[in-house]
Amino acid sequence: MQNKSCEMKFGRLSIVFFLVILINFSCKKDDGGGDITPIEIRDRTEQQIEDKAALMTYLNNHYYNYGELESNENPSLEDIDISPLDGDIPNPDQNKLLSDPDYGVETKIVDFADTEYEIYFLRLNQGGGADSPNFPDKVRVRYEGFLLDNSIFDSAVTPVDFDLVGDGVNTFGLIPGWRKVLPTFNTAESFVDGTDGTVDYMNHGLGVMFIPSGLAYFSSGTTGISAYTPIIFKFELLQTEVNDHDGDGVPSYLEDIDGDGELLDNTDNDFTSDRFGNTFPIYDYIDTDDDNDGVLTINEDIDGDGDPTNDIGANGIPKYLDATETESKI
């Protein structure tokens, strides 16, 4: 990522379908005027059972062009062809069912919102780069999103940059499914600047993820996607960059103190407000004083090596996490 044309720029968090929508109601106008009809908040475990059944029905009744992708030296998301099954699979040496035990999807079990989820993904190319994103990192991707009826709701033909988690107050990054799947892939092995200003990526991560609604928009829905709808993304993982959201010298993925792959449950009980007056916790990954001891985390890097995590105090934990350790390097 030293090439200037491929430096990652992260001002483009405007794609609506990726934002986590926090308002759990819809507006319904009837003959008497505009009434707000609340959307029922379903039990997550029960909804996951329903979503799993819907996704498995899709996987058991669709196939993809395995042979063409396998023989392609640098396949792209446009090369992925998923087709509905109508009887037997045509040319079974070249086409494989999405649920095929040898050539089909992988299953990853994750915990989110106190619920166990199964998320499925098709690994078409691991990616030849040395890097894989951590769950809260920056990524450069191309994608195509579609529903179980195969209707496309959004896509990015040219590479776009995203923060997988956002800042926790004004932006909330991508839906959870992305940060559960992308870390299992690698970035592109190399890239070449084109004469037309474009960049060609070689041997990038390529896959398809099949996401239950609980790891997507759940009860909120968004434009083109109803509440409680499983969704699918074809994707290319091109580049990644480690995030340090608060610039305190601790990468954001290391601010996940409880190790559950989420950041919004790690805080030292500080609070802040947004421009609308709403109050939010200051999560550790956006907190410049992680232990609230009055000494900035970056100044608890006593040995000055740029890494506060290896400055261990008398209690056997890093000083930046111990409010009784108030030594500062300045």
The pLDDT score that the predictor gives to residue 43 is 97
Domain boundaries, the chain: 38-241, 252-321
User: Does pTM surpass 0.85?
Assistant: yes
Cα gap 133→243, rounded to integer Å: 10
Contact 325, 293 (CB under 8 A): yes
38-241: CATH topology is: Chitinase A; domain 3 (3.10.50)
Question: Which amino acid appears at position 281 of this protein?
Answer: P
pLDDT at residue 14 above 80?
no
Cα gap 143→141, rounded to integer Å: 6
Per residue in 15-46, pLDDT tens? Answer: 333 333 333 433 344 444 455 567 789 999 99
Per residue in 246-266, pLDDT tens? Answer: 999 999 999 999 999 999 888
Per residue in 177-234, pLDDT tens? Answer: 999 999 999 999 999 998 888 899 999 999 999 999 999 999 999 999 999 999 999 9
Smallest CA-to-CA distance from 186 within 106, 138, 137, 129 is with 129
Distances (CA, A) of 296 to 139, 242, 254: 28, 21, 17
Per residue in 114-141, pLDDT tens? Answer: 999 999 999 999 999 999 999 999 999 9
The pLDDT score that the predictor gives to residue 135 is 98
